[in-house]
Chain A
């Protein structure tokens, strides 16, 4: 698999570490909504198809990327930097 890091260009899978589902939204730090925290920490959609996921370019620029990848074919349709994607303040897509 080759991931095109927006910063470093196309690089081999071996340079990246997977960091999981990027569609989860972390509750506000002070939130006491236990259901929301449970869902954030444990519950996964685990789709068969398009999956937005974090990869860190750990062997390169160390940036966190959000990669859109098809879990049935491994085809990658998008790579972007990941600022604030895990924050509760972002808009849900």
Chain B
């Protein structure tokens, strides 16, 4: 019998909800593990889960410096999609999409993945062509896509400004119907619980302060809760990648840390039933189940490790939001927050063995890490277990930058703040 089900909810309601167990244990660190994963965010936890579930590796610890899920897994706009253009990306994200589609069952935890679709609005014929190109690429690589026209948009999103005299009139859009949103925190908690029930130790408030080394080889970590030896050490710390890798003597990486702000309004009755992106600027917006409009735009655009944004981006994002939804000008912003993005030099991630023996690296998610959570963990677990990348993440190597095999969706070159 599943631990979580409608039946269990009813049964516990009768007994005052006293029968629920902790979602994950709070164990003491063991002196040695087969694998230590640094970073108890979405990717670290999903890696732990798939190590146990797919590769039978359960003598695994996840070291999280603060509270579990305190990084970007809990600071994003919850969008799940696989609408990429390039061959290095689409199959990976489509694999992630397939994992998402069964994730609540797999974890016996409702991550509330709702396939309400994403529509990228287009405002010029050239944007329509670009959208078609991406939509075609998606279909040829096994993802779903379709073009939507303004009459359908008017029907589906009544508050959207479709007037011809808009500054950027809407000509149509590219939809990925299987895309959608999920409850971000639940993904972290679901993977944590799934990993925990398979024997993984999740160590909160366990900050890695250094690496144990045997020559070049990494043999474990020093932490705020003592030394932990490990056959393999996996680094999965997103915005903190630079700082953690410096502890291992890796002083430079093709990564910069930048802050991305996200915003939510006060709760409203349903007004947007899909994810919408604005092509006249940079804005992505959806409505949560609770009713808040959840949205974001560009990164602030300078190196930072501080989870605080600045005002010019707030103003930019709001002006784009009300350009799309003029009725929302009277809606109030409720909260804003900032997450630290590991912006890579080509806008695509890194999932690789190395760069030191005994070490594995997962980073460079820019601001697309949430949707990748399942596939990132799935591929990283494979890479750790087999000591080589899966074909799905083979292109996400660390040496691709120097060799010139960049995966540059935006065509911006080595300027991380523009990806």
Contacts and interface: CB of A to CB of B under 8 A. Distances in A.
Interface of A: 1, 12-14, 17-18, 20-21, 34, 38-39, 41-48, 51, 53, 55, 69, 71-74
Contacts of A55: 302
Is chain A's interface secondary structure helix, strand, loop, or mixed overall? Answer: mixed
A7 to B, nearest CB: 20
Contacts, number: 70
Contact of A53 (B251, B253, B302, B305): B302
B253 A44 contact: yes
Contacts of A45: 242, 251-252
Interface in B39-60: none
29 contacts: A1-B310, A12-B312, A13-B311, A18-B302, A18-B417, A38-B402, A39-B252, A42-B345, A42-B402, A43-B252, A44-B242, A44-B252, A44-B253, A44-B254, A45-B251, A46-B252, A46-B257, A46-B303, A47-B242, A48-B240, A53-B302, A69-B302, A71-B257, A71-B304, A71-B305, A71-B306, A72-B304, A72-B305, A74-B306
Nearest to B399: A38
A34 B335 CA distance: 47
Contacts of B254: 42-44
Interface residues of B, number: 27
A66 to B, nearest CB: 13
B304 A42 contact: no
A21 B345 CA distance: 13
Q: Which of A14, A48, A51 has the most CB of B within 10 A?
A: A48
A21 B305 contact: no
Contact of A46 (B253, B311, B401, B414): B253
Given A42-B345, A42-B402, A42-B414, A74 B256 contact: no
